[in-house]
Structure 1
Amino acid sequence: MELTHASELAISHQLNVLIVDENEFVHHLLQSSLLDLNIERVSVCTNAYKAVKLCEKNYFHIVICAFNVKSDKDGFHLLEELKDKGYVDKRTVLIFLSSETSESLVNSIIELQPDDFWSKPLSQGKVTERLRYTLGVKKKLFTIFLAFDKKNYAKAIYFADRLLLDSSLKPYFLNILRLKGEAYLRLREFVEAETFYRSLLKSCQHSWVYTGFVNALLNQNKLDEIKDLLSTLVEKPDTRFATYDLLAQYYIDNKRYELAYEQIKLACELSPRNLERQRKLYELARLNGDFSGQYKASKNMVKFAKNSIHQSPVFELNMIRSCLDYANSMSDAQATSIFSDVEKAIKTMENSADTDDKITQLLWVIKARLCTAQGQEEKALNIVENHFSVRLSADVEDNLDKVKVYQELGLKEEMQDLYDVIAKQSEHDSLNNAAINGYIEQRVEHKTQQFSPRKLNQMAVEYYKKARYMSSAKCLEEAVLLSPKNNKFRISLLKVLIKLKEKDQHETKHLELAEETIEKLRYEQLSENDNEVYLQLKNRWQVNSMEN
C-alpha cells in the first residue's frame, strides 16, 4: 500500500500509527494523545524486529520511534532500515523520541530527517499540539513531499511556487521554502540555489538557510566569498556540523586532502553514526598517512555497523587490514602488541559462522601480509603459492591488500598486473570516491618501494650501527614519506642528519632536510619523552651549526 493523496491523511480514524518504545508508560501517553486527535488505529512494539515485521504487513502513516530500543538494535538503526526498505518516506509523519539530547545524537538524527524530535519525558498536551501541527504540514504540503519521493525535484519546485501564492498557507511558508531550496540543491542548480538563499537571508536567519547558501557557493567554488561566514557558522552549535561536512566534501572535490581530513574528523566527532562519513574518514586518514586515525575509523565502522542493515564481515576485514597498516608504520617496539591484536582478530573471524570461502581467501592475504611484516618472507611466499586465488576481486580494497603482499615480496610482475586492474576499477568508481582514487595514485607513485615504513626503520638502525649514515638517512627519509604522522621516524631522521653533519659527510640537501624536520616537529604534539629528545637534538643542531 502507498499513500498517494493528501485526503488520506485527513481521515483521522483511518490513519495507521506505529509506536516503537520499550516503555509501556510512553505507549499509553502517546495513545491518549492520538485519541485526542481521533486517531485510534495504533500498533505498539518494544523492539526493532517486531517493528520491521509490522511494517512488512501494514502501511503506517505515522511512525513514532524511540532511540533507546536496546533489545536488538537502537532507534537510529531501525529508522535507517525502515527508510532503506521504503517503509518510511517523505510522506510519512516521522517522529523521533529520546531522553538523550547530546549533540552527536541530535546530529545523527537530523541526518535521518524526521519531521519532529521529542525529548523525554513527554507531556500529553504538547504531544497533541506538536503532532497536530506536523500532521497539518504533511497534509498541506503533500504534493511537494510526493514529488520528493518520486525524485521529481523540478515538480517539487513548481508545487512550492504554487503553494507560496496561497496566503492561507502562510504558517507553512518556511517549510515550503526549505523544501524548495533543498530541491534546487538536489537538482544541482547551484546558481539558482545561491540566488534563492541569498534573497532569503535578507529576511530569514534560520540555520538551514545559511547551510543551504554555503552549499550552493561551495559547489560553485566560491570559497573566498564566504570565508568570514564559515568562521561564524563553525562556532554555532546548530550549523557547525553541516558546515564541517560541506567543507570536507569541497576539499575532497578539489583534491585538498589534508584540509578535507581535518574537516571530516570534526564532522565525525559531531555525528559519528553515518557510515559513509566514517568511510571517508578512513580513506582520508590512509591517504594522509595517519594510520592511527585509519585504524580508529575502521573500528568505528565495525561499532556502528553492528545490528544495522550495513553489518558485514567486510568491516571486520578492513579493521584487521588497517591494524596491520598501523603496525607497519611503527617501530619494532611499538608494533609487537599490534601484531598480537591482528592474530587474535584473524582467529576470531576464522571461527565466525559468517566466514565463507571468499572471506577465508581474503584472510589468507592478511596472513601473508602479517608474515612479511614479521620478517617471515618464506612463509608469506608459501601462502602466495598455495592459497592465493587467481581470481581477481571486484572490490578495490581486496586487490589493494593483495598488491601490498606482492610489493613487499618483490613480485613485480604480479604487482604490476594487479595495479593495472585497480586503476581500471577506480576509473569506474563513484565520483564521491575521490579520496580512494587519490590513495591509489599515491600507491602507484610509490610502487617501486618494496619496504614498509617499519622495515625501512629496521634497515636504518642497522645502517646506523655500521656507521653508514647516508644509507640510514635515506631509509628514514623514505619511512617518513610513507608514514608522515610517525614522529619517532622524524626524530630518528634528525638524529642521523646531525651525525652526518658532525662527520662532515653531509650534502646541502641534508642541511635543508634537517631544518625542515626541526620545523615540522616544532608544531607536532609530541609525548613528553619525545619532546625532550627533540629539544636535545634541536639544541645539538643549533650548537653544531654555530660552530661551523
Structure 2
Amino acid sequence: MASLDDFGTDELSQRLQKELPRKRVLIVDRHPAARDALRLMLSALGVTNVTGAGSSAEVLRQVKASTFDIILSDYVLDDGRDGQQLLEELRQQHLIPLGTVFMVITSERGYHNVISVAELAPDDYVIKPFTSEQLQARILKAVFKKNFFAPVYQKLDQGAYIGALNACDRLLANTSPFELDVLRLKGEILNALGRHDEAEAIYRDVLARKSVPWARMGLAFALRGRKSLDEAETLAQQVVDEFPQYLSAYDFLAGVQEEKGRLEAAQAVLQQAATLSPNNAGRQRVVGDVAMRNGDLDAAEKAYGKVLERHRGSSLRQVDDYANLSRVMLDKGQTAGARQLIQELKRDWRGSRQGEYAAAVMDSLCLQAEGEPEKARAAVAEALRLHEALERDGDPAKPISHKIAVDLAQACLAAGDGDAAQTIMKKVAAENNDNRHVLARIEGVFARTGNEDAGRALLDQVNREIVELNNRGVLAARSGDLEESVRLLVDAAEAVPSLQFLVNAAKAISALMDQQGWRDELAEQAQRYLQQARARDPRDWRVLSGKEALQRVAGKYGKRIS
C-alpha cells in the first residue's frame, strides 16, 4: 500500500489526523484486557467513539445496529474462528460498506502464516507489539485510500455499476497515486457487467506497462467471457505456476477446465488451492461438488466436512452443508454417520421450514439405506408436503435448494413414486438449465436406477422448451413489440423462474418503461425478478446488467430504486 509520504505532505497528514477523532471504531478481541488496552491507545489519538466486541456473534449484532468507519480485529477469535473468516462473513453478507476500514491485528508468526493465503484481503495487518504512533500511521494510510475511492465504493454499495465506472473515469482524469488500483477496479466492474471487450483493452494496456498477476487474471476473465477458453486457461495456468499464492487463479483455472469437461484436472487444481488455504469454505464446497461428479467420495467427504466445520455457528451456514455430507456418507454406506448428521441438522435448524424440509428428505434416503421402506415412504410424504408448502408460501428471494430437491426426487423414485420424481426433476432442470452441477446430479439419479436414456430425454425436452419460451419473447422485442415481449417473458419467468428468464423479463420491463414511461407496478415487478435472480447467483453478470438497466431507466424519470 502506498504511504502518506508518497503523495503528501504535512497538510494532508494534519487533515487526516483531524478526521480521525470523528471516526467510529469497533475493537474485536476475545480478551477484555486487550480491548481496554487498545481503547486507551485510540484515546491517546483522540478517538473516543469506540465500541468493543468479544465474540463474532457480538460483532454481527453490533454491525447490524450501527455503522463503523474502522474495525480493528484480533486474528484469533472465539470458538477457533479468525479475523479473516469474520471479514469474509461481513463482506459476503453485505454487513459493512466497502468504505469501512478493516484491519487485522496479529503476532509476527501469525502474520506470516496468514498473509500468504489471505484471500479476502483486509486493508492492512498490524503486527504486535505496536505503538500508538504506529497504529495511527497505519490507520491514516488506510483512511486515505478509502477516502480516495469513496466515490466508487458508494456507487458499488448502491449497486450502481455504471455510476461506479463513471467515478473511476473521474479519478483517472487527474494525476492519481492509485492509477493502477483504479484501472484494476474499472476492469473488474466491466467484467462483472459482461463488457469483456472493454475490460480486455484495459488489462492489455496495464500489461504493456507492467506484468502484474491481477492484470493477467483480469484478462483471462475477459477472454473466458468471450469464449476464448484455451487462451484463458493458458494465462491462468501461467499465474498459478509463477504466483502460487494467488489463489483465485486456481478457482478460475478449475472453472475453465470444468467448462471444457476436464473434471479430474479441475478437482486436482482446486485441491491444490484447498491445501494452501484450507479455510475457504466456498472453495471446499466446489471441491466436494466436483469430487462427487468424479466419484471421489473420500475427497468429497473431506471437503464437505471442512465446510460444515468452518460454517458451524456462522450466518454463512446452509442446510446444504449438512445434506452434502450426509449424501456422501450414504453413498459410502456409512448410515450411522449420515444419521448423526441428520440429527445435527434437525437440532441446528429447529424452527426453520427449510431445515425441516432438508431433514425429511435426507431422513427418507437414510431410512431406505437402513432397510426401513415403510418409514422411508412416510418421510417422503412429509418431505413432499414441506416442499409444496415452501413453493407455495416461501420467499422467492430464498429459493429451495436445488440439490435437496433432486435428493427428494431420488427419494421419490426409491419409494416408487416415479411421477413425483419426474415432476420435481423437470422443474429443477428448467430453473437451473445452465448449471452443470445440477444437470449432472439429475443425470446421476437417473443413472443409479438404470434410466440413463430417460434422464437424457428429460433434459433434452427441458432444453427445447426453454429455448422456445425464450425465443418467442426475444423475437417480439426485436420486432419492436415491447408490450408483447414483456407479456411473453413475464409468462416465462413466472412459469420457469430461472436466472435467464428472470433477468430477461426484468430487462424487457426496463425497455418498455424507457419507451413508454415509468410505471410503479412494473418497476416493482422487475425488482422482484432481479432479487430472485440474485438469490440464484449474485455474481452473474446478467444479474448486474439487468439491475443496471433498471437503474438507468429509473434515473431517466427521476426515480430511486433500492
Tell me whether the two structures share a fold, i.e. TM-score over 0.5.
Answer: yes
Q: Provide the secondary structure at the position in 2 that maps to 1:308.
A: coil
Equivalent position of 1:423 in the other structure: 426
Equivalent position of 2:265 in the other structure: 259
1:75 aligns with 2:83: yes
Higher Rg of the two aligned structures: 1
1:152 aligns with 2:154: no
- C-alpha offsets along residues 433-484 of structure 1, whole Å, 9 cap, x if unaligned? 421222213433554269xxxxxxxxxxxxxxxxxxxxxxxxxxxxxxxxxx
Shift of 1:418: 0.8
Q: How many residues in Structure 1 have an aligned counterpart in Structure 2?
A: 424
Equivalent position of 1:14 in the other structure: 22
Equivalent position of 2:4 in the other structure: none
Equivalent position of 2:335 in the other structure: 339
**Partners of 2:433 and 2:141 in 1: CA distance:** 40
**Partners of 1:359 and 1:127 in 2: CA distance:** 45
Shift of 1:43: 2.3
Letter in structure 2 aligned against 1:114: P
Q: Provide the secondary structure at the position in 2 that maps to 1:180.
A: helix
Structure 1 305/161 Cα, relative in aligned 2: closer, same or farther at 3 Å? same
Equivalences for residues 426-505 of structure 1 within 5 A: 426-429=429-432, 431=434, 433-448=435-450
1:324 aligns with 2:336: no
Equivalent position of 2:143 in the other structure: 135
Letter in structure 2 aligned against 1:110: E
Structure 1 363/143 Cα, relative in aligned 2: closer, same or farther at 3 Å? closer
Q: Does the aligned pair in 1 maintain the 2:410–2:421 contact within 8 Å? A: no
- C-alpha offsets along residues 265-309 of structure 1, whole Å, 9 cap, x if unaligned? 233333343443333222222222122222222211210111210
Give the counterpart of 1:270 among 257, 273, 276.
Answer: 276
Over the matched positions of the two proteins, sequence identity in percent amounts to 22
Give the counterpart of 2:119 among 107, 110, 123.
Answer: 110
Shift of 1:91: 1.4
Equivalent position of 2:216 in the other structure: 210
Equivalent position of 2:540 in the other structure: none
Structure 1 156/324 Cα, relative in aligned 2: closer, same or farther at 3 Å? same
The gaps in structure 2 that reach 5 residues or longer are 1-14, 388-399, 453-562
Structure 1 9/48 Cα, relative in aligned 2: closer, same or farther at 3 Å? farther
Q: Does the aligned pair in 2 maintain the 1:95–1:117 contact within 8 Å? A: yes
Structure 1 226/50 Cα, relative in aligned 2: closer, same or farther at 3 Å? closer
- C-alpha offsets along residues 74-118 of structure 1, whole Å, 9 cap, x if unaligned? 43443344335544111112222333647885476432x432233
**Partners of 2:335 and 2:106 in 1: CA distance:** 41
Letter in structure 2 aligned against 1:145: Y
Structure 1 234/321 Cα, relative in aligned 2: closer, same or farther at 3 Å? same
Give the counterpart of 2:385 among 388, 391, 396.
Answer: 391
Give the counterpart of 2:307 among 301, 305, 309.
Answer: 301
What RMSD in Å do the two structures reach over aligned CA positions?
A: 3.5
Q: Does the aligned pair in 2 maintain the 1:368–1:381 contact within 8 Å? A: no
Structure 1 47/205 Cα, relative in aligned 2: closer, same or farther at 3 Å? same
Q: Provide the secondary structure at the position in 2 that maps to 1:44.
A: strand
Structure 1 319/92 Cα, relative in aligned 2: closer, same or farther at 3 Å? same
The gaps in structure 1 that reach 5 residues or longer are 1-6, 328-337, 451-548
Shift of 1:13: 2.4
Structure 1 56/307 Cα, relative in aligned 2: closer, same or farther at 3 Å? same
Shift of 1:246: 0.7
Letter in structure 2 aligned against 1:186: A
**Partners of 1:29 and 1:385 in 2: CA distance:** 59
Give the counterpart of 1:380 among 369, 373, 382.
Answer: 373
